[in-house]
Structures are given as structure tokens and as C-alpha cells.
Structure 1
């Protein structure tokens, strides 16, 4: 090995150390895939709720408020399952790379992710309480606020997350003009896009490493 190659290796080692200290690189692509499939299951359940309501066979009440409440329960259930699975898969990836799971970078990532997410959640709840019957705005709002959260947190992890965020926002804005198809946009944004980007990140950062 000549001197130039040694210098290049040294620079690569320094770059890796800087990445580890400033970015959360233990994020598992498989967690995105898991979240995507979970979202598709949630979309299927929500579609069933809406179909039963429209067909007059709804068993949980007859008002639109009952439907909205059950859609929110499905949404929060999907979120809880996806977060739990993502946490376990990311923790596994962190141990595999022998990196700390909880440090200052992780805190910054979660804080920047949580601010738009919590704001979006409160916005949706307030919207439904103040304007009953607006459940058609849930999916577009979720997609837009989630996209903003990903972009806000992307500086602390892989840059691929930023592009996913842009895709979510664009999809949410399109869904605003297609209210009757919001559930399909929700399934694409949280299901298909997650599976696509999760698979991409897995082969790009994890497989073979």
C-alpha cells in the first residue's frame, strides 16, 4: 500500500467517524418495509369500516362521528405497531453495527421528527372536533405533516429520508384535490412508499455490510 492509498483510507475512516457522530446510521431499512406492510393492513381495515358505513351495515353506531373515531383508532393502532416493529429492527441493526442506540444524535432525530408529527396529530384532532364530518381530510393531513417530519429529521440520518418526505408531501397535496380517494393515497404514501424506500435503504446500506 502506497502513501496515497494510506491517506485515502485515513480520510475514509475520518468520514465514517464524523457520520457516526452526527448522523443516526443505525436506522433499519427493514423497519420501513415492516411499517409499509402494517400500513397496508391498516388501510384494508379502514376500507372495511368505510364500506360498512356506506352500505348501512356498520355495527359500531350510525353517526359519522363513530366512523371517524374508529378510523382514528385504526390509525393510532397502525402507528403503534409500526413504531414498535421499527424500534426493534433498528435496535437490532444498532447492535449489529456495534453503535450506541441512544445518544445525542438519536435525541435530535426524535425531537425533529416529533415536532411536526405531534403538531399534525393535534391539528387533525382539532379539525375533527371543530368540524365534524371532515374525516376525508385525515389522509392528506397525515401525509403532509409526516413528510414535513421526515424532511425535518433527515439531517440527522440518511439523506434518502428527505426524498421520501418530499414524496409524502406531494402525495398529500394531490390527495387534497381527490378527497374521496384519500384512503388510497394513504395506502400508497405509508404503505407502498415505505416498502420501496425501506427496500432501497436495505440494499444500499445494510445488505453485505
Structure 2
């Protein structure tokens, strides 16, 4: 019994230390929903870009289409963030944990720099008309943000970031197919990741 009590005590100490250094209230379902939003956005973007064209590289960008794509991407981002916050707060409250603590602040601070840098860079590329590099850059900088922030949350987040970086590099190597890589990285991978996280940590 003494050994069992000692093991239980060690386990409790480990859980307390983990909660104090890692933000473990991230919801797997928020990843699934973000992936669904991304796939819907990618489908709508595809209809805007490729309807009436025979190949994926034969695209004519005009100001109207660019503006619509920007608003579409912004809508996907807003819905994803809002859903993520809602489900994460609900999970934290269910477990009796605080959402805004030292670990969540560290997570946000570490992920914010590459994410903000990538966002500003993509806006500059959009303004300059270098549309072909936007999809690869969003994947790469988002992946870098996940890797940077993964130290303060579940280690699985790091692998999602690595896969997104790899997809971003592939998208850069195959210009004209950025939307498909974007859909796979932000859509399919998020759904797979969210499903794994849900069954691994949320139950």
C-alpha cells in the first residue's frame, strides 16, 4: 500500500507540474472544426479561381477576386478562432482549470512572433501582387508558430507544425497548386490532428 500511495503522490505532483508549465486545455474538437471551416473556404476559393479554366495554373487574378479571397480567408480565420476559444474555455471550465494563466500566456507569446510576422509578410505580398507565394507562406509561418508554441502545450502540436511547414515548402516548389496544399494543411491535417487530440486528451 505504501508503494501505491507513493506512486499516486508522484503522479499527482507530475500532473500539478504539467498544468503549471503546459496549457492542456486545448480542445481537439476545435481543430476538427477549424479543418472543416478551411475545407469549406478552400472549396469556395476554388470556385472563385478555377471555374471556367481548364488547368490549375491558368488563373487570371483581378482585384474583385483577390478581395473576395481575402474576405473568405478572414472569415475562415474568425470562425476558427472563435470556435477554438469557445471550445477551449468550455473544456477548461469542465476540468476546473483557468484559461488565462502563465502557461497559456507563454504559449501565445511564443507563437505570436512567427504568426504575426507571417501575417504581415503575406499582406505585403498581397499588396505587391505576389499571390502565388501567399499559400506557401501561410503554411510555413503557421507551422513555425505551432512548433514554437508546442513547448507550452501538447507535444502533438509540434508535429502538426512540422507537417504544415513541409506542405508549405512543397507548395512553394509547385506554384499554381497552393490552394490544394493549403486545403490539405489547414483542412485535412487539422481534422486528423483534432480527432487524435480529442480521443487522446478530451475524453
Residue equivalent to 1:93: 91
Q: Which segments of structure 1 move beyond 4 Å, counting only runs of 4 or more?
A: 52-55
Match of 1:81 in 2: 79
Q: CA 1:80/1:182 → structure 2, altered by over 3 Å: closer, same or farther?
A: same
Per-residue deviation at 1:68?
Answer: 2.2
Give a deviation string over 1:148-167, Cα, whole Å, max 9, x none: 00001001100000010000
RMSD of the TM alignment (CA)?
1.5
1:8-62 Cα deviation digits (max 9, x unpaired): 111100000001111110000000001000000100111111024759xxxxxx8
The number of residues matched between the two structures is 198
Answering whether residue 31 of structure 2 is matched by residue 32 of structure 1, we say yes
Q: Which residue number in structure 2 is paired with residue 9 of structure 1?
A: 8
Give per-residue Cα distances to partners, 1:115-174, cap 9 Å, x unaligned.
1111101101111223x2x21211111000000000010011000000100000001101
Q: Counterparts of 1:179 and 1:65 in 2: how far apart (Å)?
A: 20
Alignment of 1:160-171 (within 5 A): 160-171=156-167
Name the CA distance, whole Å, in 1 between partners of 2:155 and 2:33. 20
- SS of the residue corresponding to residue 123 of structure 1 reads helix
Q: TM-score, length-normalised on structure 1?
A: 0.90
Matches of 2:43 and 2:146, distance apart in 1: 25
Structure 2 unaligned residues grouped into runs of 5+:
55-59
Q: Is structure 2 residue 153 aligned with structure 1 residue 154?
A: no
Match of 2:21 in 1: 22
Q: CA deviation at 1:63?
A: 5.5
The one of 139, 144, 149 equivalent to 2:135 is 139
1:67-88: per-residue Cα shift (whole Å, max 9, x none)? Answer: 2222121111100000001110
Match of 2:196 in 1: 200
Give unpaired runs (5+ residues) of structure 1.
Answer: 56-61
